[in-house]
Amino acid sequence: MRLMGKLVSLVNRRALRAEGHVFAVTPERIAIAEGLQALVAMAPMLCAAVLLGRPEMAFGAVAAFWTCLSDPQGPTAGRLRAMGLFIALGVVVLPIAAYAAHFGFVPSVAALLVLVFLCGLTRSYGPVLGPMPAQAGLIASLAVVIGMASPAPLPGALLQAGYFLLGSLWTVLFCVVLWPVPFSQGACLTLASVFGRLADMAGVLRDLDPRPGHDEPGWLDFDTVYRRGVRLSIERGRALAAHDLRTGAILGPGVDAAGRVLSALIAIGHFRRQSGVAIDPAAQSLLDALQRLLSDVAVQAEGGSPFAPALAVQVETLRQRLGRRNDTMARAVSFAATAVGRVARREPRPAPAVPPAGPRLWFFGADPMVRRHALRVAVACGLAYVLGTLLSVTFAYWAAIAAIVVTQPLSANTWLRIVERALGTMVGGTMAAVLLALLSTPGAMVMAILPLAAITVSLRLVNYGLFVIFLTPMFMLLTDFIRPTGGLIVARLANELLGALVGVAASFLFWPEKERDALHAAIRTAISANMAFASAVLRLNCDDTETLDQIQRDAGLASVRLEVARERMLLEGYWRSDQLGRLQPVLVALRSVCGAAAVVEVLRSGMPGEADRQRAAQYDALTASLLAMLDAGEVARQPVEAASLPAGASADELDLALRHLTATMATFTAAAAPARRRSLA
């Protein structure tokens, strides 16, 4: 456990810059036990196929693998619901597709289009914080393609469905009832990753020089890369804790403590940068002590015992070092250390709110975006298969599968998925070529397929590219096992290229999502959320920590999503790249507002006074002014609410940050107004 924890922490720290993108790497989600589950679940059907000389029985092993991919883990009811939906879809669409293909090319294409579209309507595309378990609709779409590639009369189609059902039901029985996987390892690895990143963030903060002209790129990384990476890793941990209460009483409180440590580091960073002077030895010593505390939490989590009671003693020692110091640095360090100490002392916490139920999508009541993307994927899948067949590409259905997987609702994400899939296919294809040359018997193939399946499932939530590296040889060996043929490597590469080209064309040409509208909505959300936090720290009592934490989380995530949307559009080569460049100062200004509000939260004490409530009302009015400025696309000639903020010596850091945000928004909207008028003309 300790060796695995150290490896995960090392990779997680190196993967910081990939956070928030489709190519994100989340090593804390490695699932060795789930991989072993997949190996055992697939083994009976593959062994039976070898012993009985019936290669078609391997369809049951494919179904077992897919069922493992659609297993979200967590509570039994949720697992049964997700896996049951996949089984219900698969056992219906696979025989229909196989039977339709029995009547010829045109009926098979028609069935492919209709069934892939219907499967796509069961999917959802809410914002995610990293790789997630495959949805039932996606895997069922692949079952449609496999069924179409295996034409059979009605008895043969039903026999395929029987193998599929047998493999799937055995997998559910084994994974859910006979060998459920505990979440303790995942919880510890998550805490090790989060606190390892927090320790690195504290070290960077200690070494940065805030004097004018010094370390500007470093401060930009601190305000964007580190804050984004730590925030997303915290929210992934929070989602894991809410997803399955078996993570125990330690993951939820630990993630909450990490959120408060992040607030303290943000406050320290804002204070240090605004001061414009090098760090003094006493403050550096405090940051060193805080970094050691966070590192110790990470090390304990790596070993499987996070928040050992000895941490409480370490926290008290640090608090004693603070003595009577009451400056911003001391208050922030005390704020962070206290959060860690509460968890180490196992202090009770409020019961977590029950997470809202996921979107309940059904065929004709689906979200418009889901309907559009279901139709886009169906057309892309059908087009890839038709082109592959007309060009006489071997295993043309592979191109259809590639088109289903790479086609994303946003075209920039399609490009990134293609890059990952291409690299993974090249490496995996090389592995497959070596294995196909060495393995000459069905039994030897089975002995290679099973460990490849275990590794593939273990990496499914870590990174898509790594997943594809092992998925490629596994399915190429399975294909050769079921239907032996030559030229698999060339066929794989040709189909991947065709599927990628069709996926890109579908993303750009078939009902593309309006990225401009999404960016505008992201800007509005980020402004509203950060301004809400600025108001809340003045309006709420000090004891309302849960509410303040939630509002600050919303602000941080809104800024992250705006930043990711901007970077995604830049990667796409979007035509408004000049405007996207001018959006960067707005992001920095929003982060500055959040940092200044965090300083207020750390330093505040007692009940809010009338002056605080009046300032909060001014901030609410300023929020409305900024949103109106953004919607109008032009500078408000006299933003009265901004002018009413204190100026000069009477303005504190939060007021100054808001003035800077107002000025930055004015510049941004003034430059955006001509482009907006041209787009409306």
Measured CA to CA, the distance from residue 324 to residue 343 in angstroms comes to: 24
Q: How many CB atoms lie within 10 A of CB 640?
A: 10
**What pLDDT is stored for residue 145 in this prediction?**
94
Residues of the chain with pLDDT under 50: 127, 351-365, 575, 634-643, 648-650, 677-681
- Give every CB contact of residue 282 below 8 A, 6+ residues apart in sequence: none
* Of residues 487, 485, 473, the one with CA closest to residue 445: 473
Question: For position 115, what pLDDT does the model report?
Answer: 96
Query: Structure pTM?
Result: 0.76
Q: Which residue in 523, 522, 521 sits closest to 661, CA to CA?
A: 523
C-alpha 645/C-alpha 660 separation (Å) is: 12
Domain segments of the chain as ranges: 31-181+367-509, 184-279+291-304, 516-680
- Sort residue 402 into left (φ over 0), alpha (ψ -120 to 50) or beta: alpha
CA-wise closest residue to 189 among 8, 354, 435, 459? 8
Q: What confidence score (pLDDT) does residue 23 get?
A: 59
Per-residue three-class SS string for 33-60? HHHHHHHHHHHHHHHHHHHHCCHHHHHH
End-to-end CA distance of the chain: 62
What Rg value do the Cα atoms of the chain yield, rounded?
A: 27
Q: How far is it, in rounded angstroms, from Cα 299 to Cα 499?
A: 44
How is 341-390 classified by DSSP, letter by letter? Answer: HHHHTT---PPPPPPPPPP---GGGS-HHHHHHHHHHHHHHHHHHHHHHH
Rounded CA separation 446/47 (Å): 7
Of 104, 48, 109, 41, which Cα lies nearest the Cα of 71? 41
pLDDT number for residue 182: 67
User: CA 378, CA 267: separation in Å to the nearest integer?
Assistant: 49
Enumerate the H helices of 244-309 as residue ranges: 248-275, 281-302
Half-sphere exposure in the Cβ direction for 516 (13 Å, CA): 11
Give the C-alpha distances (Å, rounded to integers) separating 308 from 198, 304, 633.
Answer: 18, 10, 54
